[in-house]
Amino acid sequence: MTLLRLAWHSLLNRRTTVMLTIFTIALSIALLVLVEQLRQDVRDGFYRSVSGTDMIVGARTAPVQLLLNTVFGIGTPGNSISHETLEHIRDQRMVEWTIPLLIGDSHRGERVIGTTQDFFEHYRYADRQSLEMAAGEPFADLFDVVIGHQIARRFGYSVGDEIHLAHGGGNVSLHEHEAHPFTVRGALEPTGTPVDRNLYIPVNAYGVIHVGWESGVHRPGSGLDPDEAREQAHEHEPEEISAVLVGLTTPAAVFGLQRDLNEYEAEPLTALMPGITLQQLWRLTGVAELVLRAVAVLVVITGLLGMVTVLLTTLNERRREMAILRANGARAWQIAALLVFEAGLIVAGGLLLGILLAFGAIYALGPWLLEVFGLAVGVTLPEPWQWAVLGGIFVIGLLVALAPAIMAYRRTLADGMQVRL
Amino acid sequence: MNRVLDIEDLRFTWPGQDEAVLAIERLTIAPGEKLFLHGPSGSGKSTLLAAIGALVVPQAGRIELCGQDLSSLSRGGRDRFRADHLGVIFQQFNLLPWLDVTANVTLPCRFSRARARRAGDVEAAAARLLEGMDLESSLWHRRADQLSVGQQQRVAAARALIGQPDLVLADEPTSSLDADRRDRFLDLLFERIEEAGSALLFVSHDRQLAVRFDRVVDLPEINRAAMPA
């Protein structure tokens, strides 16, 4: 207790250097905590989006690619699967629901996805939550569009607004589906998933607006006007879709169905289980995460070494202090303990400040990350093993402080009571 | 037998050196005695003080402090013994600059339970001693480095005396003071020493001070090691 108080006063006396040292350690801890929290948040964010989907089926490709493209809009869309295949999947006994997805067009750089009412009914995210409408309703007309929360927020759209879709993806598109304006029929509540950044139109509208676009650009004079389109919509049920999300009656059926679909003879398919495919993805990103972690750990080590440097450089100027303490009854080990206590206070301060800094950064950057990357981050208390790591850093801080402490110990023994100038 | 300090046939050589620094046949201090030890620099007085403080262990001979043979104690035991029985005043820079005056005075009581017990209410004892050393109460909670050199020496004296140690070692405590302040310092120090009943070993090269002490010992005379060959 006495020593801790002495350590505290001694630190207070050198508060500028001490504050800087604490800040150095705090920054390194903040980096470590941030890397770990963001890593966790990214993973959770991905799981959130597919937590209610048992299987995703698309044209044969790498599962990771199919998953990234269909759910997260990362990468370019691959091949399509036929309507017959969709019917085949629907007909499977254990299939409870299917959500067809047609991907390709865009609006102001954001993805426009063709789907059906089933999407609003069956899609589940996070803890089996269903989609809620913030305003309006799901599709009522062929040329209705339902927009995600971010789309409504960023572009300021509300129910009743008319928008044009662009042919193909990308931020700037020269080709717009000018003949077919869409009306915003509904806006979704925020989900913290890529749904927030998508626009949804009826899958049949996808077919209709592409009549006359068979060559990739609009053939002048061709195409259907909206009223014709409404009449003929059933004829333009798209022959191909990009992928289908599948929900099963019993999760256990997933393995059999996956095998069947992967061996489907009519066309080559990839059927994936989102959770398992995400595991594969993490294995891919694991190396990058490891590098980030390693960097963070190195920075923490740098911070601790900085502290030891400060303690070592002060040893000389504190020689007199030590002699005074010794002459007044302090034992040599108490002098050494004083330095260890000081290091302990510095590291504890650094840890506390670092965690606060990290949480502050997450809190401050959260909205921006959600806006730009659609990444929902939140302040979550470190898990037990992360507490253990932080505790370990504290212990390591005390251990490295043993170097100056042992030096001080030896020196006090040699100096005795002599006060040297 | 009734001695605070009893040194017999002491011989000390610093490690790695050939010649002894100390070779003292006998030096004693009686309880409450004020001994002036005259020693010019190089006469081995720092080493002698370190030996009495049990910070260095002599190769031969015996140092008995309050009847306890120091060489028979472990390192930790010597530390505890020093803390319990000795008060120390240095030439200057006695105080921890980052503690306030009172905390500096009570410092020995933090390391020695015996001193704390004898002091009773440690804070009150510190206040009494500070008052006795003529330091105004407005200074008691100032940081030590805000005081003048003379004030700091008086704080150091108060600290050396808290918890009534058996022996106070003073190593040229007045050398940084001018004549007036030196006399005043000695007056106060003697008063407080007598109150506490401690013995005093006062080391100085300034013979002028010697007249005020009970006994004067010339270190070069008793230290045969330092005698020119």
Vertex A327 angle, CA B146 and A406, to 5°: 100
Q: Of A141-150, A165-174, B7-16, B66-75, which gets the smallest average pLDDT?
A: A165-174
Radius of gyration of chain A (CA): 31
CB B105 within 8 A of CB B121: no
Q: What stretches of B61-148 show up as alpha helix (H) in DSSP? A: 75-85, 101-111, 113-119, 122-132
State the Cα–Cα distance between residues A338 and A395, nearest whole angstrom.
Answer: 16
Q: Of A47-51, B44-48, B198-202, which gets the smallest average pLDDT?
A: B44-48
Find the mean pLDDT for residues B66-85: 87
| Nearest CA distance, A401 vs chain B (angstrom) | 22
* Closest-CA residue of chain A to B95: A324
Across the interface, do A331 and B110 touch by the CB < 8 Å criterion?
no
Q: How many CB pairs under 8 A join A and B?
A: 67
Mind giving me the DSSP string for A214-260?
Answer: TTSSPPTT-S--HHHHHHHGGGG--SEESEEEEEESSGGGHHHHHHH
Amino acid at B34: K
Q: What is the pLDDT of residue A169?
A: 67
Show which residues on chain A lie within 8 Å of chain B, measured between beta carbons.
2, 6, 9-10, 12-13, 320-321, 324-332, 334, 416-419
The partner residue sitting opposite A328, judged by closest CB among B50, B76, B108, is B108
Vertex B168 angle, CA A411 and B183, to 5°: 115
Residue A7 with chain B: CB contacts under 8 Å: none
Question: Pick from B133, B6, B146, B147: which is nearest to B68 by CA?
Answer: B6
Query: B2 or B59, which is more confident?
Result: B59
Across the interface, do A328 and B97 touch by the CB < 8 Å criterion?
no
Four-way CATH pick for B5-226: 3.40.50.920, 3.40.50.1950, 3.30.450.20, 3.40.50.300: 3.40.50.300
Kind and range of the H or E run holding B156: helix B149-161
Which residues, in sequence order, are bridge partners of residue B62? Answer: B8
CB A14 within 8 A of CB A314: yes
pTM of the model as a whole:
0.76
Question: Pick from B173, B174, B171: which is nearest to B219 by CA?
Answer: B171
* Closest-CA residue of chain B to A419: B90
Neighbours of B5 (CB within 10 A): 23
Q: What is the pLDDT of residue A171?
A: 58
State the Cα–Cα distance between residues A357 and A351, nearest whole angstrom.
Answer: 10
pLDDT digit string (tens) for B206-225?
Answer: 888 888 899 999 888 888 87
Checking DSSP bridges between strand A240-241 and strand A81-82, what pairing results, if any?
antiparallel
Q: What is the pLDDT of residue B72?
A: 87
b/e A285-294 (16+ beta carbons within 10 angstroms → b): eeeebeebee
Query: A76 or B9, which is more confident?
Result: B9
Query: In the structure, what pLDDT confidence band is assigned to residue B112 with cuts at 50, 70 and 90?
Result: confident
Vertex A10 angle, CA A5 and A11, to 5°: 100
State the Cα–Cα distance between residues B130 and B155, nearest whole angstrom.
Answer: 7
Owner of token pair 């609003």: A120
Owner of token pair 């040699």: A414
Q: What is the pLDDT of residue B57?
A: 83
Half-sphere exposure of A9 (CA within 13 A, CB side): 15
* Closest-CA residue of chain B to A324: B94
State the Cα–Cα distance between residues A30 and A22, nearest whole angstrom.
Answer: 12
Q: What is the pLDDT of residue B155?
A: 92
| Nearest CA distance, B34 vs chain A (angstrom) | 20
Residue B81 with chain A: CB contacts under 8 Å: none
Handedness of CA A159, A165, A171, A174 (dihedral sign): negative
Show which residues on chain B lie within 8 Å of chain A, measured between beta carbons.
46, 49-50, 53, 55-56, 75-76, 79-80, 82-84, 88, 90-91, 93-99, 103, 107-108, 110-112, 115, 159
b/e B112-127 (16+ beta carbons within 10 angstroms → b): bebbbebbeebeebbb
The partner residue sitting opposite A9, judged by closest CB among B82, B91, B98, is B98
Residue B88 with chain A: CB contacts under 8 Å: 327-328, 417
Question: Would you write out chain A's pLDDT as a tens digit for each of its 421 residues?
Answer: 578 888 888 888 888 999 999 999 999 999 999 988 888 888 888 888 888 899 999 999 999 999 999 988 888 777 899 999 999 999 998 999 999 999 988 898 889 999 999 999 999 988 888 999 999 999 888 899 999 998 998 899 999 999 988 887 655 556 777 778 899 999 999 888 889 989 999 998 887 887 767 666 666 666 677 777 777 766 667 788 999 999 999 888 899 999 999 999 999 999 999 999 999 999 988 888 899 999 999 999 999 999 999 888 888 778 888 888 888 888 888 888 988 999 999 999 999 999 999 999 999 988 887 777 767 777 888 888 889 999 999 999 999 999 999 988 888 776 665 554 3
Which of B45, B86, B94, B110 to substitute to test the interface with A, most A CBs within 10 Å? B110
Across the interface, do A419 and B93 touch by the CB < 8 Å criterion?
yes
State the Cα–Cα distance between residues B104 and B94, nearest whole angstrom.
Answer: 9
Which of B90, B143, B169 to substitute to test the interface with A, most A CBs within 10 Å? B90
Checking DSSP bridges between strand B34-38 and strand B215-218, what pairing results, if any?
parallel
| Nearest CA distance, B76 vs chain A (angstrom) | 7
Find the mean pLDDT for residues B139-154: 88
Q: Where are the domains of chain A?
A: 2-46+285-415, 55-272
Residue A326 with chain B: CB contacts under 8 Å: 55
Across the interface, do A329 and B115 touch by the CB < 8 Å criterion?
yes
Residue A418 with chain B: CB contacts under 8 Å: 46, 50
Across the interface, do A416 and B55 touch by the CB < 8 Å criterion?
yes
Across the interface, do B111 and A419 touch by the CB < 8 Å criterion?
no
ipTM, interface predicted TM-score of the complex: 0.85
| Nearest CA distance, B215 vs chain A (angstrom) | 25
State the Cα–Cα distance between residues B158 and B160, nearest whole angstrom.
Answer: 6
